[in-house]
Amino acid sequence: MAILVTGGAGYIGSHTCIQLLKENYEVVVLDNLSNSSPKALQRIEEITGKTVMFYQADLLDRQAVERVFEENNITGVLHFAGLKAVGESVEKPLYYYHNNITGTLILCETMRSCGVKTLVFSSSATVYGTPERVPISEEAPTGAANPYGRTKLMIEEILRDLHQADSDWRIALLRYFNPIGADESGRIGEDPTGLPNNLMPFITQVAVGKRDKLMVFGDDYDTPDGTGIRDYIHVTDLAEGHLKALEKIAAETGVKTYNLGTGFGYSVLDIVHAFLEATGVQVPYEITDRRPGDIASCYADPSLAEKELGWRAKKTIRDMCCDAWRWQQHNPNGYQ
């Protein structure tokens, strides 16, 4: 009995593989390595002392996906594989729709034909668009602002329709807020290619001397210090949320939607200060223009996940900064 982790070599998938192995699940990873390194898988094995069955394959390759199911006794799927860069999705919408949506369709069709109907899907807080109010509960209106976000919303709808047509499906839609940090070993972490889009990898790259300074995208938002507020969550807490979701859907059919966030918002400058306190490293920054499409404030109401999954994020912002820094310091060039 194994769990298939699509995108398991990636940032969140690799951390979730560690939690699965620690809980004695058998793990099969399917990843085309388009945004990840096989070294992540080697290190997962080093950290846990357990093995991962790895298929370097594309979800768009139906035969390869079928082979994974034929060769393993898969009982459930954690579906992380997807493209995730908002800016790139605006430039290459068809590439994003094809990869994320067609890939999910092929996965679900294969699951159905093999009688595997347990699926946890990586959705995102981006499905809430510009929230009317914070904290954001799962009932808040949705409306994504870019092709990446629309792939998440469309896949959520597809999975709801799938359950509507066949109530045997057991599906969890996990809407992540802002995952940061790394495994406490410092051996695996976030390894963006090129210029990081996200705040924490940018901060750690400045701290390690790879970049001169952080550009803070706007200080004129309607927030206490004028910079954008987000709900940063430690990737290990997020990974644990997946195991809880898997347990929940093993116990009951249906489609469940959960926010995975901490419920606390931190501004960009809060993070810069927290990083200094946690690591002793001062990150120079400059205030620049707002980034198009950014919202002022976004943080979760995570109470549904606490009530129904018995899950809540435990790690502090200090833990997130220390762990992100340990990974960056020990691996200044990521997995290269």
Tell me whether residue 90 or residue 287 sits nearer to ligand NAD (CB atom). 90
Q: Tell me the C-alpha distance between 331 and 336, whole Å.
A: 8
Among 50, 163, 291, 312, binds ligand UDP (CB under 6 A): 291
Q: Which option in ligand UDP, ligand NAD, none does residue 234 bind, with CB closer than 5 to 8 A by kind?
A: none
Q: Does 216 bind ligand UDP (CB under 6 A)?
A: yes
> Which of the ranges 17-25, 96-104, 197-205, 246-254 carries the binding residues for ligand UDP, by CB under 6 A?
197-205
Q: Which option in ligand NAD, ligand UDP, none does residue 176 bind, with CB closer than 5 to 8 A by kind?
A: ligand NAD
Residue 267 CB, nearest distance to ligand UDP (Å)?
8
- Whether residue 202 contacts residue 213, with contact meaning beta carbons closer than 8 Å, is answered with no
User: Residue 321: what residue type?
Assistant: C
* φ and ψ of 188, to 5 deg: -125, 155
Q: Which option in ligand NAD, ligand UDP, none does residue 76 bind, with CB closer than 5 to 8 A by kind?
A: none
Q: Tell me the C-alpha distance between 4 and 53, whole Å.
A: 9
Tell me whether residue 33 or residue 281 sits nearer to ligand NAD (CB atom). 33
3-state SS assignment for residue 221:
coil
Q: How many residues are present in the chain?
A: 336
Q: Which option in ligand UDP, ligand NAD, none does residue 199 bind, with CB closer than 5 to 8 A by kind?
A: ligand UDP
> Which of the ranges 50-58, 76-84, 107-115, 213-221 carries the binding residues for ligand UDP, by CB under 6 A?
213-221
Residue 280 CB, nearest distance to ligand NAD (Å)?
26
Q: What is the Rg, in whole angstroms, of the alpha carbon atoms belonging to the chain?
A: 19
Residue 212 CB, nearest distance to ligand NAD (Å)?
24
Among 14, 100, 178, 328, binds ligand UDP (CB under 6 A): 178
Q: With helix as H, strand as E and coil as C, how does 115-177 read?
A: CCCEEEEEEEHHHHCCCCCCCECCCCCCCCCCHHHHHHHHHHHHHHHHHHHCCCCEEEEEEEC
Q: Tell me the C-alpha distance between 108 and 106, whole Å.
A: 6
Catalytic residue among 148, 176, 266, 299: 148
Q: Name the DSSP class of 300.
A: B
Tell me whether residue 99 or residue 205 sits nearer to ligand NAD (CB atom). 99
Reading the block at residue 219, the tokens are 């200080």
Q: Tell me the C-alpha distance between 31 and 177, whole Å.
A: 23
Q: Which option in ligand NAD, ligand UDP, none does residue 241 bind, with CB closer than 5 to 8 A by kind?
A: none
Tell me whether residue 99 or residue 279 sits nearer to ligand NAD (CB atom). 99
148 is an active site residue = yes
Residue among 218, 205, 225 nearest 281 (CA):
205
Among 2, 60, 85, 215, binds ligand UDP (CB under 6 A): 215
Instruction: Pinpoint the alpha helices (H) of the chain.
Output: 11-22, 38-48, 62-71, 86-91, 93-96, 103-114, 147-165, 199-207, 235-251, 268-279, 303-309, 317-330
> Which of the ranges 25-33, 46-54, 58-66, 208-216 carries the binding residues for ligand UDP, by CB under 6 A?
208-216
Q: Does 217 bind ligand UDP (CB under 6 A)?
A: yes
Residue ranges in contact with ligand NAD by CB under 6 A: 7, 9-13, 31-36, 58-60, 80-84, 99, 103, 122, 124, 176, 179
Residue 87 CB, nearest distance to ligand UDP (Å)?
10
- How far, in whole angstroms, is CA 245 from its chain's centroid? 14
Note the residues at the interface with ligand UDP (CB under 6 A): 178, 197-199, 202, 214-217, 228, 230, 268, 291, 294
Please give the positions annotated as active site: 148
